[in-house]
Amino acid sequence: MDNPFLAVAPPEPDPFIAGTPRREPLTFTGRGREYFGIWIVNLVLSVVTLGIYSAWAKVRRLQYFHRNTSLAGSAFDYHGDPRAILKGRIIGLVLLLAYNLSFDVSLWLGIVTLLLLAIVMPRLLMRSLRFRARNTSWRGLRFGFDGGLREAYSVFLLWPVLSVFTAYLLAPIWHQRLKTYQFRHARFGATRFAIQLRESSFYKIYGVALLVGMAAFLLALVATVGVVAAAGTLGEGRATPLMLGLAVVGLMWLLLALLVWPYVSARLQNLVWNNLTLGPHRFQSAVRVRTLYLITFTNLLATVFTLGLFMPFATIRLLRYRIESVTLLAGGPLDDFLAAPGQDVAATGEETADLFDVDIAL
Amino acid sequence: MSTSRSEAIPALYFDGRSARPHAAQLWLEGDVLRLEAADLSRSDPVMSLRVSEPMGRAPRLVSFPDGAHAEIRAHEQFARLLQQSGHVDRATVRFAFDARWVLASVGLLLLLVWAGGRWGLPWAAERVAPLVPRLAVEAMSTQALALIDERLLEPSTLDADVTARLAETLAARTDVPHRLYFRSGGPVGANAFALPDGALIVTDELVALAPDDEAVIAVLMHELGHVELRHGLRMMLQGSAVALIMTGYFGDVSNLLATAPTYIIQSGYSRDMEREADDYARRKLLAQGRSPAVLADMLERLASAHRDGGDGPSGWLSSHPDVAERVAALRERSAPR
């Protein structure tokens, strides 16, 4: 038999030696050139349809990413219904507009809108976590998310409010609660994920990020003032404080994106995956901060110099690195996973996007 | 069997209930897809199956009606099998992997963005502007005025007599609802703005530059043209639309909408809008028995004041690149026909 899979994935009758997990790295076969085609066709169709196609575009994009990601010789898949995503986008747009405009009209309308948002948002976000999980599969088994509403209100309402009122001193705890909520209630088929995250790990990451961020701000300030002083225009009233402020803010965003984001996202990914378990299996994530800095920096440069056309290539580069940094440490045969009872594909069906199916990007 | 039988293709089969892979072979027999593995076999009518789009090196997935699926990585063989079954990929899929279509898409996109910005947006803004509720227009204008006062302008030092006289004159000469504000210009020098709700802001410097009240009124007639023709609102709608599109394109930078009021100051009007406002002022001045040449003179004075002042074109003149042309147009048609 000339089955290429026999070389990739032996049907696993292999003797498992206790205590020595088998390493199964995630592999990513997406290519910038291919994704560019998908991206540009998606973009054109989205523009022509005034954004309506963007929901279908998102499904194709995620399908491309999922199906090009393999574990132990089998690809992931994405099954989201574009109509649910479109609904999510319309809801999101309406909420954004309501939030931005209501306070302009009157204070009371603003407060009512804010209250409404506070009630609705946690439920929507919980729903979209569920949607995202349920529509992801590997080897024909769906992932799932069973997080409850009470915890959703705690994670998406109570903790954000608490961290705002403590000048973001509690923000790392909020993030810890959020990640715990997201993964502790996740499952693959009938097998539950488990996660142990310590608050102190988040404080460590955000502490360093804060230092880097302050350095970025100082750098932006010094650079702007330096440039203005060098041009000798500060004294003549040409550069208004408004312009100066805008320059500092713009440069700061750039430096934050370049200096803070790679650090935080590398550390966070490692933290979450290294503390995650799925039944007898563990994960290992080895994203290196300096590699992520390099990728981010070169991606930004190339994107700017190609007026955005490099963006799909940049996406693929970043995704490949982040995905291929993750390894599954299999503590048993991977064939043993079972579908959740009553949750097999035929029963839930892709066509049964119910009224409350929404997907709001987190 | 009499029906044609295709070559067998290797696949991984999953039953949808467990993660156990079954190394399988599949082939076509007429209108039926046959699949065989060590401990199972099935045959399904081709019509009942779904085939995933080709996506580069990603496996093709054949989904069975009962939730099982087969993962196929032998792309060339599978393409031959699909051809035999009469399956045709959707157009969007063929486009995405054909270099000519991709290039054409890039071209089309650039064309669309350009045409949309040039005609589509202004057209849509003009249609939408009358529909914006009065309440929202007033709220935005109030916010914009507060912002201008906070960041840009100082309180006026003009005599109360002068400002009262000008306000009275203007009120007598137009029935467009408006409110007149005087401010010290600071960085923007001799200048005048109109906000969408009819608030007109004149700087002390402009009043000083004008030889008489009539010159100030002429400038204000131009500004009232912007109000009456809803230029400010249209520019703001366009700005918000661009911001919204950019947000969608580049990711979630929320609060961009909150910056909308600043568009009124930061981005000027289009050339067409300036010409329309000039034309509005010319017609009104003529109807009142005044000469539009006064506005032409004022335009020249403003242009030279900003040139001599060395603070570059800003505000009133930022999008007035062809002052000479506008002056000529105003003078040429300064006599009633």
Tokens at residue B327, please? 């002056």
Contact B21 A11 (CB under 8 A): yes
Q: What is the pLDDT of residue B126?
A: 85
Residue A247: pLDDT band by 50, 70, 90 thresholds?
A: low
* pLDDT over 60 (residue A240): no
Contact B18 A236 (CB under 8 A): no
* pLDDT over 50 (residue A356): no
> DSSP states of A259-307 as a string?
IIHHHHHHHHHHHHHHTEEETTEEEEE---HHHHHHHHHHHHHHHHHTT
How distant is the Cα of B334 from the closest Cα of chain A, in angstroms? 36
Tokens at residue A83, please? 């109509």
Which amino acid, residue B103? L
CB-nearest partner of A67 from B59, B152, B254: B59
Residue B123: pLDDT band by 50, 70, 90 thresholds?
A: confident
What does the pLDDT look like over B175-196, one tens digit per residue?
888 899 998 877 778 888 888 8
**CA A84/CA A359 separation, integer angstroms:** 6
Nearest alpha-carbon partner for B67 in A275, A343, A87: A343
* pLDDT over 60 (residue A13): no
Lowest mean pLDDT among A163-172, A183-192, A233-242, B85-94: A233-242
* Residues of B in Cβ contact (< 8 Å) with A309: 106
Q: Is the dihedral of CA A351, A356, A358, A362 positive or negative?
A: negative
* pLDDT over 70 (residue B310): no
Q: How much helix, strand and coil, in percent to the nearest 5, is found in chain B?
A: 55, 15, 30
Contact A139 B56 (CB under 8 A): no
Contact A141 B16 (CB under 8 A): yes
Lowest mean pLDDT among A251-260, B7-16, B216-225: A251-260
Q: Is A137 exposed, middle or buried (0-12, 13-18, 19+ CB in 10 A)?
A: buried
Q: What is the pLDDT of residue B313?
A: 43
CA B324 to chain centre: 30
- Enumerate residues 134 to 163 of chain A having a beta carbon within 8 A of any beta carbon in chain B: 138-141
Give the mean model confidence (pLDDT) for residues A281-300: 93
Nearest residue on chain A to B68, alpha-carbon basis: A140
Q: What is the pLDDT of residue A359?
A: 52
* Residues of A in Cβ contact (< 8 Å) with B310: 236
Lowest mean pLDDT among A343-352, B108-117, B268-277: A343-352
- Enumerate residues 186 to 205 of chain B having a beta carbon within 8 A of any beta carbon in chain A: 187
Q: What are the residues whose beta carbons fall under 8 Å from the beta carbon of A17, sequence distance 6 or more?
A: none
Contact B96 A37 (CB under 8 A): yes
What does the pLDDT look like over B205-220, one tens digit per residue?
889 888 988 899 999 9
Residue A350: pLDDT band by 50, 70, 90 thresholds?
A: very low
Indicate the pairing of strand B69-72 with strand B60-63: antiparallel
* H or E element, residue A348: helix A345-348
Contact B109 A40 (CB under 8 A): yes
Q: What are the residues whose beta carbons fall under 8 Å from the beta carbon of B139, sequence distance 6 or more?
A: A104, A105, A106
Lowest mean pLDDT among A33-47, A343-357, B216-230, B257-271: A343-357
* pLDDT over 90 (residue A323): yes
Q: What are the residues whose beta carbons fall under 8 Å from the beta carbon of B312, sequence distance 6 or more?
A: A238, B306
Residue B321: pLDDT band by 50, 70, 90 thresholds?
A: low
Mean pLDDT (chain B) is 81
* Residues of A in Cβ contact (< 8 Å) with B257: 96-97, 100-101
**CA B13/CA B24 separation, integer angstroms:** 6
* Residues of B in Cβ contact (< 8 Å) with A104: 136, 139-140, 143
Contact B312 A48 (CB under 8 A): no
Q: Is B148 exposed, middle or buried (0-12, 13-18, 19+ CB in 10 A)?
A: buried
Partner A contacted by B10 (CB < 8 A): yes
Q: What is the pLDDT of residue A7?
A: 42
Lowest mean pLDDT among A13-27, A289-303, A308-322: A13-27
**CA B181/CA B197 separation, integer angstroms:** 13
Partner A contacted by B104 (CB < 8 A): no
* pLDDT over 80 (residue A362): no
**CA A103/CA A322 separation, integer angstroms:** 40
CB-nearest partner of A41 from B59, B96, B311: B96
* Residues of B in Cβ contact (< 8 Å) with A57: none
Residue A352: pLDDT band by 50, 70, 90 thresholds?
A: very low
Nearest residue on chain B to A2, alpha-carbon basis: B10
More confident residue, A81 or A177: A177
* pLDDT over 60 (residue B280): yes
Q: Are A26 and A327 in contact (CB under 8 A)?
A: yes
* H or E element, residue A101: helix A82-105
Residue B27: pLDDT band by 50, 70, 90 thresholds?
A: very high
Tokens at residue B103, please? 């290039």
Give the mean model confidence (pLDDT) for residues B81-104: 78
* H or E element, residue A248: helix A241-255
* pLDDT over 70 (residue A106): yes
CB-nearest partner of A4 from B10, B96, B139: B10
* pLDDT over 70 (residue B245): no
Q: Does this complex have an ipTM over 0.85?
A: no
Residue A246: pLDDT band by 50, 70, 90 thresholds?
A: low
Q: What is the pLDDT of residue A51?
A: 80
* Residues of B in Cβ contact (< 8 Å) with A102: none
Nearest alpha-carbon partner for B70 in A12, A347, A2, A3: A3
Q: Note the maximum CA span of chain B.
A: 107
Task: Choose from A94-103, A296-305, B308-317 the range with maximum mean pLDDT.
Answer: A296-305
Q: Are A71 and A26 in contact (CB under 8 A)?
A: yes
Partner A contacted by B117 (CB < 8 A): no
Nearest alpha-carbon partner for B221 in B159, B272, B292: B292
How distant is the Cα of B60 from the closest Cα of chain A, in angstroms? 9
Task: Choose from A324-333, B48-57, B85-94, B230-239 the range with maximum mean pLDDT.
Answer: A324-333
The 10 Å CB-count burial string (b at 16+, else e) for A284-308 is: bbebeeeebbebbeebeeebeeeee
* Residues of A in Cβ contact (< 8 Å) with B12: 5, 9, 73-74
Q: What is the pLDDT of residue B3?
A: 59
Q: What is the pLDDT of residue B266?
A: 44
* pLDDT over 50 (residue A345): no
| Rg of chain A on CA atoms, in Å | 23
Percent above pLDDT 90 for chain A? 43
Q: Are B232 and B260 in contact (CB under 8 A)?
A: no
Q: Is B308 exposed, middle or buried (0-12, 13-18, 19+ CB in 10 A)?
A: exposed
How distant is the Cα of A331 from the closest Cα of chain B, in angstroms? 15
**CA A259/CA A279 separation, integer angstroms:** 37
Nearest alpha-carbon partner for B200 in B237, B164, B167, B155: B167
Lowest mean pLDDT among A5-19, B241-255, B302-316: A5-19
The 10 Å CB-count burial string (b at 16+, else e) for A317-327 is: bbbbbbbebbb
Q: Which residues pair with A326 in a beta bridge?
A: A285
pTM of the complete model: 0.72
* pLDDT over 60 (residue B316): no
Tokens at residue A349, please? 């069906």
Phi, psi angles (nearest 5°) of residue A50: 55, 40
Which residue matches tokens 């500004």?
Answer: B223
Which residue matches tokens 């713009």?
Answer: A250
**CA A280/CA A330 separation, integer angstroms:** 7
Residue A95: pLDDT band by 50, 70, 90 thresholds?
A: confident
